[in-house]
Amino acid sequence: MSLTHHTIQDGWFREVSDDSFPGQGLELRVKKILYTGQSAFQDILVFESTDYGNVLVLDGIIQVSERDEFAYQEMITHIPIMAHPNPRSVLVIGGGDGGVLREVVKHDEVNRAVLVEIDETVIELSKRYLPNMSCSFNHPKVEVKLCDGFKYLQELSKSKDKFDVIITDSSDPDGPAAAFFQKQYYFQLLYNSLNEDGIVIMQASENVWLNIDNLRVTKRSHWKSFPVVKYTYTTVPTYTSGQLGLMISSKTPNLQLNKPLRRLSQEKEDELFKYYNGDIHEASFILPTWAKKYLK
């Protein structure tokens, strides 16, 4: 019996969200539905597309496609790590597909990478259908903790265990990730879970072409806890409007997050990365005039 899903009709997957993407949508042509199911936390769909490889969808929203996932994974990972003076420990909140972990362990400086994922089903399906992303779960530097990221941070903030870099690779602000976007307390937990020179980055679930008002609110929320806050972005075709915003903050006053403290040779960049390089690190912080004024 062939699988079906409410987001797929006439051979096309359709993503529509009036809350997140008002007045627009995204469609991908479907070759084959690989999995549909409801985990303890969310609706999950995996399908093979005709042009973008395998695609992971959570609660109707595309999380990754094999064709363009690296554009997001690399930027959310390498910008904070390359901006940090000595990134030895990295915490990843969410990211059960394993893409961020794959990028984190490329850095020799990092000796500990902890991933906190609430939904084990996402990890298992990624290992099955997204092998190029989930290839680092068994890496010796990696620890996986199956629990709620918000609760994990609550405990971490009270302990002596801290991290140099925290990457919040959560899904959109619906379902399991809602607490990450709705509670100001969350940003203070991030601050308290970092070492003194720590950096945190999170996907903003918006960009300047979508709900820029929400970006401004998120940036102001960061300012209440962090002395340095900047907006950057990456380009990803399968995210509605083709961009995804990233909000990065530092506990170190006057740290220039838009400039990498360390640079690799072009040969090494070509070997390790498909999207990230030192030049695009700096360029990704440059915004159109109207957006720069509005967010400032």
Domain 68-295 - what CATH class?
alpha beta
- Please identify, in words, the CATH class of the domain defined by 8-64: mainly beta
User: Considering the chain, what percentage of its residues have pLDDT values greater than 90?
Assistant: 82
AA identity, residue 184: Q
Query: Which of the residues 169, 172, 174, 213 is marked catalytic?
Result: 169
Our answer to whether residue 169 is catalytic in this structure is yes
Structural domain boundaries in the chain: 8-64, 68-295
**pTM, entire model:** 0.94
The pLDDT tens digits of the residues spanning 15-52 come to: 988 777 778 889 999 999 999 999 999 999 999 999 99
**What is the average pLDDT score of the chain?**
93
Q: What is the mean pLDDT of residues 204-214?
A: 88
